[in-house]
């Protein structure tokens, strides 16, 4: 009896809820697979998809976003072994699942913790509330491939942002597989878009893109590249999360700064009268 010939997977990009190949037709060999090598135009297409998704996602109720993030955790739990098979340590997969659960719960709490009534000295109702900043470009950490990726995506989207993620160039398979999880988790297409390939090709485009509102440089290890990206980001005053230190502990309590940096505070005044 001959051994069954396995069906191999093609690892593609994740843009607008679909899995296209790079428009450039290129791929690169990594982790024993051919992975799409995203181009500047793919980055641009991803931003368009992310922008299109903002209205619906930011406009969804916090409860709804929380449910969907929890659904992601459920789906990931079901695919636990798949990630382990890709070489992701089991405890990292568990931590990644738990992180989705942790962030899912923030959706309807952060506005309460981070906003509220301001006691102004006058006859006014005055309320500050956080709002998503819009489209966020994210450079995922090179490693840990799954936990690092989840730890940068979840805080950005839980509040209503949409993201274009440049996945770890050296360990992209977890990212593409996570995309498959997201695609089956009720997450609207375009909320998360994932590009694989060389950071130097896609990220400068994202950093300079005038329709991107913020950039998370967490995964940029090269200080000179990070500084260059921050300079590009200044052109439309993107909100910037600077690179994480190399020794960052991805298992520690993430805190709220990742979420709050990607939020705007809107303060509304109204007179109180009869």
Which residues contact another protein by CB under 8 A? 113-114, 118-124, 126, 128, 133, 213, 223-224, 226-228, 230-231, 233-237, 239, 255, 257, 260, 264-274
In the complex, least distance from residue 91 CB atom to another protein, rounded to whole angstroms: 27
Tell me whether residue 25 or residue 122 sits nearer to another protein (CB atom).
122
- Answer for the pair 160, 154: CB distance below 8 angstroms, yes or no: no
In the complex, least distance from residue 42 CB atom to another protein, rounded to whole angstroms: 25
φ, ψ dihedrals at 74, nearest 5°: -60, -45
Tell me whether residue 168 or residue 213 sits nearer to another protein (CB atom).
213
In the complex, least distance from residue 32 CB atom to another protein, rounded to whole angstroms: 36
Cα distance between residue 98 and residue 62, in whole Å: 19
Tell me whether residue 98 or residue 264 sits nearer to another protein (CB atom).
264
CA atoms within 13 A on the CB side of 131: 14
Tell me whether residue 24 or residue 128 sits nearer to another protein (CB atom).
128
Cα distance between residue 124 and residue 103, in whole Å: 34
Spell out the residues 6+ positions from residue 22 whose beta carbon is closer than 8 angstroms to its own: 13, 36, 37, 38, 39, 42, 197
Cα distance between residue 44 and residue 205, in whole Å: 8
DSSP state of 161: -
Tell me whether residue 144 or residue 254 sits nearer to another protein (CB atom).
254
Cα distance between residue 201 and residue 20, in whole Å: 18
In the complex, least distance from residue 174 CB atom to another protein, rounded to whole angstroms: 29
Cα distance between residue 170 and residue 73, in whole Å: 24
**N-term to C-term CA, the chain:** 87
In the complex, least distance from residue 264 CB atom to another protein, rounded to whole angstroms: 5
Tell me whether residue 144 or residue 243 sits nearer to another protein (CB atom).
243
In the complex, least distance from residue 238 CB atom to another protein, rounded to whole angstroms: 9
């Amino acid at each position: 009896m001959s051994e069954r010939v396995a069906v191999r997977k093609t690892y593609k990009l994740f843009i607008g809820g679909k899995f296209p190949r790079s428009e450039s037709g290129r791929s690169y060999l990594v982790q024993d697979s051919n992975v799409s090598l995203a181009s500047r135009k793919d980055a641009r297409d991803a931003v368009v998809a992310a922008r299109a998704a903002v209205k619906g996602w930011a406009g969804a109720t916090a409860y709804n976003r929380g449910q969907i993030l929890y659904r992601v955790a459920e789906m990931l739990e079901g695919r636990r072994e798949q990630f382990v098979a890709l070489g992701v340590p089991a405890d990292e997969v568990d931590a990644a699942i738990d992180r989705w659960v942790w962030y899912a719960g923030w959706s309807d709490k952060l506005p309460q913790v981070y906003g509220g009534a301001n006691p102004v000295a006058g006859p006014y109702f005055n309320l500050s509330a956080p709002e998503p900043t819009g489209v966020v470009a994210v450079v995922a950490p090179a490693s840990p491939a799954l936990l690092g990726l989840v730890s940068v995506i979840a805080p950005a989207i839980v509040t209503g942002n949409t993201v274009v993620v440049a996945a770890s160039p050296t360990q992209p398979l977890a990212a593409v597989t996570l995309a498959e999880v997201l695609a089956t988790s009720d997450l609207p297409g375009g909320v998360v878009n994932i590009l694989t390939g060389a950071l130097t090709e896609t990220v400068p485009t994202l950093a300079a893109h005038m329709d991107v509102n913020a950039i998370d440089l967490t995964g940029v290890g090269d200080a000179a590249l990070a500084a260059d990206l921050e300079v590009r980001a200044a052109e439309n005053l993107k909100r910037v999360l600077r690179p994480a230190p190399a020794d960052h502990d991805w298992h520690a309590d993430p805190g709220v700064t990742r979420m709050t940096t990607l939020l705007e505070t809107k303060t509304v005044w109204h007179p109180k009268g009869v």
